[in-house]
């Protein structure tokens, strides 16, 4: 790793060392004044972020590289030993999540697109052990079947629940009707063990018409997933077509309706359905029309911004902003758009162990930012 003259700031409460490349202009919100600190830059379409116990970070790049950032320095050499993957359209190396006991077992999980020439593309998840700058014992634990010929809607976001079950989002692969086919892994959230088996208590284990790993279905293309800090439930958001982006609480057995119901229309302008709700499907907690193309989400639980405590933050690709939502009793009571003047597509939003929000920007010169109180 190349040395620089950047000064590392030691955050005493967490023991996380961060080297700042300098803060941007000051930003005002309804509840706080903040700045962005650039932690790292020069990343190729960064997609997912994980925090290692030593305070450094791992970042996935969609082009198929896993990068290490330590004290604000991006290691020139990518992590070696990644699984075979395909970089095609919206697919590539996607999300990363650490095993709940990573500090003891050094195990992590990667989601990514994979291709077999005759059968096409799909979303896969691999488990691996991180040893220094290399992945070892790489094992594929989940593969959405059947494959498809499009290079769209891989989803790939992941989250762990309190019982150690892994939730994996799979998109409809750009073929909308697949989201209602429960013998087809596309268009839903799958709950599995760390070995890839359907988790105990999955809602469809006794239903031969539904694949055992399904936890929910009728999801179009989930691009954000996080755990509620109080209830422990998994929250997600997903892209609609032209309009109809949704926030949902992922609950066992629910059908979220795509494409039977939607607040959006087809990209061609054609009507997909005239229904926004119907019996047997779960209405979204919140939706956007027109679409903001949400990506990444996190609840704020730190101490740096007590006025944001419990608020949900969502990145936006198309609209190039960060959205803050105040939520009470599963209803949005306040919505505020932030960073609209930044001119950056926000790909991921994470709550950092240092009490700051962390952001990834989606470009060929992507950045890692920290949202910090204004000095």
Q: Kindly state the tokens that stand for 184.
A: 């087809």
d(CA 43, CA 92): 14
Q: Which of 114, 153, 237, 286 is catalytic?
A: 153
For residue 151, how many C-alpha atoms fall within 13 Å in the half-sphere facing its CB? 10
Among 33, 34, 61, CA closest to 363: 61
Among 311, 363, 364, 362, CA closest to 338: 311
Q: Kindly state the tokens that stand for 76.
A: 């020139």
The 3-state DSSP class for residue 104 equals helix
Annotation says 237 is catalytic? no
DSSP string, 261-305: S-S-B-TTS--S-S-S--TTSPPPSEEESS---EEEEEE---SS-
d(CA 19, CA 348): 20
Tell me which residues are annotated as active site.
153
């Amino acid at each position: 790793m190349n040395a620089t003259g950047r000064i590392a700031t030691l955050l005493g409460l967490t023991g996380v060392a961060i080297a700042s490349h300098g803060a941007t202009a000051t930003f005002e919100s309804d509840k706080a004044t903040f700045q962005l600190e650039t932690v790292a830059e020069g990343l190729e379409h960064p997609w997912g972020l994980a925090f290692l116990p030593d305070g450094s970070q791992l970042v996935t790049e969609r082009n198929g590289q896993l990068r290490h950032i330590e004290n604000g320095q991006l290691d020139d050499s990518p992590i070696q030993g990644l699984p075979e993957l395909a970089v095609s359209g919206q697919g590539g190396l996607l999300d990363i999540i650490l095993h709940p006991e990573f500090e003891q077992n050094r195990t992590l999980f990667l989601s990514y697109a994979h291709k077999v020439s005759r059968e096409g593309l799909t979303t896969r998840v691999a488990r691996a052990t991180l040893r220094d700058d290399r992945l070892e014992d790489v094992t594929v634990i989940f593969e959405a079947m059947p494959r498809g010929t499009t290079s769209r809607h891989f989803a790939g976001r992941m989250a762990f629940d309190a019982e150690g079950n892994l939730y994996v989002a799979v998109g409809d692969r750009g073929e909308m009707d697949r989201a209602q086919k429960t013998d087809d892994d596309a268009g839903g959230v799958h709950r599995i063990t760390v070995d890839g088996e359907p988790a105990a208590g999955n809602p469809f284990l006794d239903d031969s018409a539904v694949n055992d790993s399904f936890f929910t279905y009728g999801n179009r293309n989930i691009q954000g997933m996080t755990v509620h800090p109080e209830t422990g439930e998994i929250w997600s958001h997903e892209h609609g077509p032209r309009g109809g982006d949704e926030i949902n609480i992922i609950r066992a057995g629910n059908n979220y309706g795509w494409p039977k119901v939607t607040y959006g229309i087809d990209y061609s302008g054609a009507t997909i359905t005239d229904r926004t709700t119907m019996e047997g499907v779960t209405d979204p907690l919140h939706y956007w029309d027109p679409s903001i193309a949400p990506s990444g989400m996190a609840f704020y639980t730190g101490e740096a911004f007590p006025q944001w405590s419990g608020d949900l933050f969502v990145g936006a690709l198309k609209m190039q902003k960060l959205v803050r939502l105040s939520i009470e009793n599963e209803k949005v009571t306040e919505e505020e758009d932030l960073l609209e003047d930044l001119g950056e597509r926000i790909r991921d939003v994470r709550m950092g162990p240092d009490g700051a929000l962390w952001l990834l920007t989606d470009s060929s010169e992507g950045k890692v930012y920290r949202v910090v109180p204004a000095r």
